[in-house]
Structure 1
Amino acid sequence: MDPMADVTAADAASMEAAGGPGAEGDALARLADAYGIEPSFVDANGATVETSDEIRRALLAAMGVDLSDVAGALARLEEEAAGRLLPPVIVARPADGRVRISLSRPVAGRWRAVAEDGAEREGAVDGGALDLGDLPFGYHRLDLQADGTATEATLVVTPGACWLPEGLTEGRRLWGVSVQLYLLKSEANWGIGDYADLVLLVEALADEGCAVVGLNPLHAQFMDAPEDASPYSPASRLLLNILNIAVPLLPEAADPDVAAWIGSDAVTDRIAAARATPLVDYTAVADLKLEALRRCHQAFRRASDPDRAMAFERFRAERGDRFERAALFLALRDHFAREEDNPDWHRWPEPFRDPGSAEVRRFAEEHRDAVDFFAWTQWVADGQLAMAADAARAGGMAIGLYRDLAVGADLAGAETWANAAAVLDGVEVGAPPDLFNPAGQSWGLPPFHPRRLREEGYRSFIDLVRANMRHAGGLRIDHVMGLQHLYCIPKGSSPREGAYLGYPVDDLLGVLALESARNRCLVVGEDLGTVPEGFRDRMADAQVLSYRVLAFEKDEETGGFAPTGAYPVLSVAVAASHDLATLKGWWQARDVQAKDALGLYPDEAEATRQRELRDRERRELATLLHREKLLATEGPIRVESFVDAAHRHLSLTTSALAVVQLDDITGEKDQVNIPATDRETPNWRRKYAETVERLATSGAFAHIARLMAERADGDAARAGGPDASGRETESG
């Protein structure tokens, strides 16, 4: 029996007034509603899509509900609600400096609160509410003994609003650059962008006044399947991708044996070959780096440097049990992938599917070196990421690194093995059909189990947020609507055959605000697609910045593109994202051409409609840029002039933060990823056209800084008229 949440007294009364379970279909609908399965949604065309009984049953079964007796399941919900005075977790925002908790019914008894630092306070209750006084922000325990019943709850006291850099709500406007780290080219990397490249990039951009460097998710990937390259389908969001480690920066790389291996002709040839490819060769990179890292780890153990050894142990102790379990998973995965060619933990021998089994404990003891190796790689990756964060601070960046949290992790990964009860097996997160993806999307990622998430006091969510705010001044949450609901598709079904599953959005925003304040890390919510009514108001109240894409921002009255003054202050203005066309690609409709060639449109009529739509939008955007005096009104529009004008438009928006893609600085034509495709296109592989060193000295960063300087003095910069540079251009 796994209801999503405790049923309230009102829920129970509603059930009783309905005269019991009634007809099975009605009872099933009410049971699904109690578990958070939404009865319908409005699609991209404005039509209401009803949730079918078949989908209800599939999702309820995935949540562990016994559907053999639907009426009985409803009755048990009521019984459970009556037996508990407090829910498992309470997220409270103080009012007038005091924390007050409403109870489900009036009671008489005593309460005791144990604060995070161990301090205790207690008091009496006689009524329907608790007044806990001025509890500090943090994670506390609340005990209530009343009417002969004892109940315990996790109490989260939150500021309610996320941290923002000084002056951001008073009109201060900042700018930054987003980068797919793995696509960086440099004169020294091993065929994939690494943390040393990131330091160079941060230093060069800081010199130009950049406030933030946005990064793709840095989550751990499967090292035995390196070609599964999407950073949005990771092995674990709690760990870092070790392929981004810059091996030459490690002290152990200077060990004579390691240095001799790296300097050998065979290895230098392999490194040069990986560096020279136009696409990231993940297999070659993984083979190189894993061998190098294993040699470096052996050197680390041989050296017995007490300071480094103690620093490593402190790191492990800091990160706690969940980190250790994730490192153990990586060792197990490596073992089963090599020994039995059986990497998915669902196919491991039965005892090894349970992290708490005696066999798993024995493996950890007998393979201590392997577990230590994977923990050590995380330590060195964390240290190198910290170097980049330090470079941002030293360069005076107001925000620094801006990380990205994927909406989920792969079902076969560390997160699901370490805490299988926290996710729904047999269900995949995705999106219903919309104008850009008419077939809908299934991302192959399992959602959190809402009930289990509440029962554990949101610990899994807290750990994710903390891990990804580490060394960051900003965090982007992919598909932020998942805090309120996720579109869930029973495994094996079409993306058209799903329903929305609800989550406690106010609680999760409260947790997010607490972690944001503690880490001094602003939060950006990627709110593209179908946004629930009122959701953006909730985001604004919590000071979560909205993610506004130039091509999607339209004027409500005219239907044309939104002028610069229409952007919300609490937002990030961007030209595009990894899933969308670059500015060059958009102007030339390369994304439309690619989708047509890949058969992603249902028929030729839709492809024609998309081409005509792009032609019209191109004219409309050009008209807006002409009106804003950012683009010349005479002669053909060159694509480079359009790119500059679009960036100047972003610069002049009223958004607190404007972020430029490195792809648009380097003039890339093709986007990083085309949704609904895998290996049909070089997704996640296309390297940038220029090396970091060349970008730092070519004037490209200085040029974008001049365009974005209009954030501080838009009128003065705009007075110079549209860019008339004579750089090589292509016609649109």
Structure 2
Amino acid sequence: MTGTRTDELARLAELHGVAVSYRPAPDRTVTVPDSAVVAALHALGVDATTPEAVRAALADRERALRERLLPPTVVHWAGDPHDPAALTALPPRTRVRIETEAGEESYRVSAPLVAGLPLVAGLPLGVHRVTATAPDGRTAHAHLVVAPDRLPAPPGRSYGLLVQLYSLLSRRSWGMGDLGDLAELAGWAGRVAGAGFVQVNPLHSAVPGAPTDPSPYRPSSRRFPDPVHLRVEDVPEYAYAEDRERLAGLLERAARLRAAVLDKGALIDRDAVWELKREALETVLAVPLGPGRRAAYDAFRAAHGQALDDHATYYALAETHGPDWTTWPDGLRDPRSAATARTRAELADRVAFHTRLAWLTDGQLRAAHRTAREAGMPVGIVHDLAVGVHPAGADSWAQQDVFAAGMSVGAPPDAFNARGQDWGLPPWRPDRLASCGYAPFRELLRALFRYAGALRIDHVMGLFRLWWIPQGSPPTEGTYVHYDAEAMLAVLALEAGRAGSVVIGEDLGTVEPGVRETLQRRGVFGTSVLWFERDWTGDGRPLPPERWRADCLATATTHDLPPTAARLTGDHVELRDRLGLLTRPAAEERAEAVADVTEWLALLGGLGLVDSVGPVDSLAPVDPLGPVGSTATGPPGADEEAQVRAVHRFLLRTPARLIGVWLPDGVGDRRPQNLPGTCAEYPNWRLPIADREGRAVPLEELTAAPRLRALLEVFAQLREG
């Protein structure tokens, strides 16, 4: 559609939740291109390519909304004495039937006929089925989500360790951190360090093949974990595998791979690790399951049903046809086709192999969480939910009906990225989610909560709206598409409540007004990073600890930001300068970095948390890609370590219920795990935890490091209750 935007197009977009403008700041409104609006509507099944098509689509939508008895999903918050508005708005004499999750049925008369008789009175928590029949014969069906009014809260106050699992190598892992290492860290952190949780990166299944995208935030599937994280020797059948010579050879190769990273400065090679593990698991899984293990495996298959079958089928097909399902033969692109059914039967052994891998990984994840809780952690393992999935991966193949074709999720231009961002992730269609009662979201959450004491949701604002970018367009030419945030939050509260798990939302950056307040009201914790906590509505100075929010995870840094030592010394500026990422002269960037740190250290000094109030103010250029990306500058000194501890003492002064310690800060690591804006220029997602000189530090040395012990001693008072 070309020309000036019409009122009809704006109205049509509004009725489908598509924005025609947005406000990046309270005093600024940006109009999005018509092309983005038309493309988003097309992805929602609405033709808006011509004025005539817009008028027809608008008339259809208005008539459908006017004539419908119920929306596809209705929410009721437990404790609310009133019926949802959608039910009270039913015509008089409408008959209502409610079938609960458990299959129980009851017939009720619409509330307008019986004063004081709520339709939802006494319903249990769950997703129920409502059927309404009006006097004129119209019938409607809807999903009724009855959810607790707040999500579970963490018991008391605690601190925990934040780590990218692949970076946590031990002398027993096969070249990258695994679930055995996670259990070891959790057991030590709970019993010795008094930590309340360990937070890891997303452990979702990666896109198969080599080279694999190492980013854990662009997975093939969020529904099932990646077997690359398995500790092969912990699989019970490993002890009974017949080909011991083959396994011994693989162990020797794994030892060389591990030594290359820990002793020779090599990067983590996920593909090489998986090649060894896959070969070993082929041998191990040839061992028949005992009766008890077989019963547990069958129960897992029954619990996950079609989703598990689809997942394993995708990986079996990918072995033959490649990982991009959009290039497969026509019949196999449809998971429900006869061709797919025939091929699934032909590949039954490979489907079974991948099904077993999902079960084994789930088991080791639950074992790691169990170890954490047995070690005294009140929260346990905190898992991370990525924003979306790869457009050619397992989930997008199995759930094509709920993904918006031709669209990609990203972010509009902002103060940090004038060109916007395209994350290459297909978004869920809000209309399809609502029509199925948010079943894909419910199943995803239920799977993750099996082994998560808490769940971090990356870009939690996506529960409210996402920036949709038409494929082939730059991120600047996208638009926001809104979701039913109340329904998304109700499903989240329902599943988190059933699991007794905490939810932490990553709400950094530009957030739509009212979103943080809504999340807080429902019990979703926020994320507060020290360097961003300033009085943005006042003088812009660092926010004193008493003004921080309590319902949050407070940290000094994240995987996308410089470690604390790099921030304090200015090493992060030198790294970005050498890689050509600065948008201003290096001298200006250095001066701003010094001023920023000086302000924070002045606040820390004023609170009596540190003696030294001046950062390193002479930042000599260094080689940012020295040993494994080391950017260490200047001689090591007690001041840096004291300042890192002071930063964490400050976090302890805030009312934050959860405090996170970036584990690499415990050994003076200078390198960010991910440097946004880079790809080949920097080894994102491939760095082991290392000391200030860039030397990899294995788990066994890490837990004994005096610097880490001293840092965690800051939280001794939390250990004492």
Task: State the Cα deviation string for residues 65-92 of structure 1 (Å, max 9, x = none).
Answer: 1224110000000221233201111111
- Matched residue SS, 1:548: strand
Equivalent in the alignment of 2:145: 156
SS at structure 2 position matched to 1:439:
coil
Query: What is the aligned partner in structure 2 of residue 517 from structure 1?
Result: 497
The residue aligned with 1:727 is none
RMSD after superposition: 2.2
Alignment map for 1:508-657 (pairs within 5 Å): 508-555=488-535, 556-601=537-582, 603-605=583-585, 608-633=587-612, 638-657=639-658
Question: Which residue of structure 1 aligns with residue 21 of structure 2?
Answer: 40
In the alignment, which residue of structure 2 is the partner of 1:351?
331
Give the residue type in structure 2 aligned to 1:441.
Q
Amino acid at match of 2:606: R
Per-residue deviation, residues 599-657 of structure 1 (Å, max 9, x unmatched)? 334x445x554333212111101111101111104787632222111111112211001
- Indicate which of 285, 301, 307 corresponds to 2:292: 307
CA distance 1:421–1:596, shift in 2 (3 Å): farther
Which residue of the partner structure matches residue 57 of structure 1? Answer: 38
Paired letter, 2:391: L
> How do residues 85-164 of structure 1 correspond to structure 2 at under 5 angstroms?
85-95=69-79, 99-103=83-87, 104=89, 106-125=91-110, 127=112, 131-147=119-135, 148-164=137-153
Offset of residue 267 of structure 1: 5.0
Find the aligned partners of 2:669 and 2:418 in 1 and give their Cα distance. 26
Q: Which residue identity is paired with 1:137?
A: L
Q: Which residues of 2 match residues 142-541 of structure 1 at below 5 A?
A: 142-147=130-135, 148-166=137-155, 172-207=156-191, 208-264=193-249, 267-277=251-261, 278-299=266-287, 303-337=288-322, 343-541=323-521
Q: The residue matched to 1:193 in structure 2 has which SS? A: coil
Does the CA-based 8 Å contact 1:416-1:423 persist in structure 2?
Answer: yes
Q: 1:642 to 1:80 in 2, by over 3 A?
A: same
Q: Which amino acid aligns with 1:481?
A: M
- Pair 440,589 (structure 1): closer, same or farther in 2 beyond 3 Å: farther
How far does the alpha carbon of each residue in 1:7-61 deviate from its partner, in whole angstroms, 9 at most, with x for none?
xxxxxxxxxxxxxxx9962211111111111222223695321112121112112
Q: 1:128 to 1:531 in 2, by over 3 A?
A: farther
1:291-310 Cα offsets, whole Å, 9 max, x none, are 111111122xxx34222222
Counterpart residue type for residue 94 of structure 2? G
Q: Could you tell me how far apart the structure 2 residues matched to 1:560 and 1:324 are? A: 54
Q: Please give the secondary structure, in 1, of the residue aligned with 2:286.
A: helix
* Distance in 1 between residues matched to 2:486 and 2:716, nearest whole Å: 37
- Match for 2:686: what amino acid? R
Looking at structure 1, the residues matched to 141 and 25 of structure 2 have their Cα atoms a distance apart, in angstroms, of 43
In the TM superposition, what whole-angstrom CA distance separates every residue of 1:83-132 from its partner, at most 9, and x where no partner exists?
A: 32011111111345565553445332211111111222221126499623
CA apart distance, 1:686: 0.4
What is the CA–CA distance in structure 2 between the aligned matches of 1:249 and 1:95, rounded to whole Å?
Answer: 46
Partners of 2:241 and 2:284 within 8 A in 1:
no
Q: Matched residues in 1 for 2:63 and 2:444: separation?
A: 33
Return the alpha-carbon distance in structure 2 between the equivalents of residues 136 and 421 of structure 1: 30
Give the counterpart letter for 2:513 in structure 1.
Answer: E
Contact 1:108–1:126, Cα closer than 8 Å, also in 2: no
CA contact (8 A) 2:598 2:615 kept: no
2:285 is paired with a residue of what secondary structure? helix
Amino acid in the other structure paired with 1:178: L
For residues 128 and 417 of structure 1, what CA distance do their matches in structure 2 show?
Answer: 47
Helix, strand or coil at the partner of 2:140: strand
CA distance in 1 between partners of 2:614 and 2:9 (Å): 64
Give yes or no for contact 1:235–1:415 (8 Å, CA) kept in 2.
yes
Q: Does the CA contact (< 8 Å) of 2:569 and 2:615 recur in 1?
A: no
CA positional deviation for 1:146: 1.1
> Take 1:78 and 1:214, find their aligned partners in 2: how far apart are those partners?
47
Corresponding position of 2:627: none
TM superposition shift of 1:589 = 2.8
After superposition, the C-alpha distances for 1:457-501 in whole angstroms (9 at most, x for unaligned) are: 111111121122221110000000001111111112112222111
In the other structure, the counterpart of 2:662 is 661
Q: 1:703 — aligned with what?
A: 710
TM-superposed CA distance for 1:350, in Å, is: 0.8
Residue 440 of structure 1 and its aligned partner are, at CA, apart by 1.9
- Structure 1 stretch 628-637 or stretch 223-232: which is displaced more? 628-637
Whole-angstrom CA distance in 2 between matches of 1:313 and 1:179: 33
More displaced, 700-709 or 515-524?
700-709
Q: Distance in 2 between matches of 1:693 and 1:315?
A: 34
Contact 1:138–1:158 (Cα < 8 Å) also in 2:
yes
SS in 2 for 1:586: helix
Specify whether residues 600 and 429 from structure 1 end up closer, same or farther in structure 2 by C-alpha distance, changes over 3 A only: farther
Aligned residues: 677
Moved over 6 A (4+): 634-637
Contact 1:274 1:285 in 2 (8 A): no
- Label 1:100 to 1:482 Cα distance change in 2 as closer, same or farther (>3 A): closer
Structure 2 partner of 1:17: none
Corresponding residue of 1:717: none
* Segment of structure 1 superposing worse, 98-107 or 55-64: 98-107
Contact 2:91 2:134 in 1 (8 A): no
CA separation in 2, counterparts of 1:46 and 1:608?
Answer: 31
TM-score, with length taken from structure 1: 0.89
Mapped partners of 2:613, 2:482: distance in 1: 52
Change (3 A) 1:128 1:272: farther
| Structure 2 gaps, min length 5 | 617-638, 691-696
Does the CA contact (< 8 Å) of 1:112 and 1:142 recur in 2?
Answer: yes
In structure 2, distance between residues paired with 1:677 and 1:634: 33
SS at match of 1:677: coil
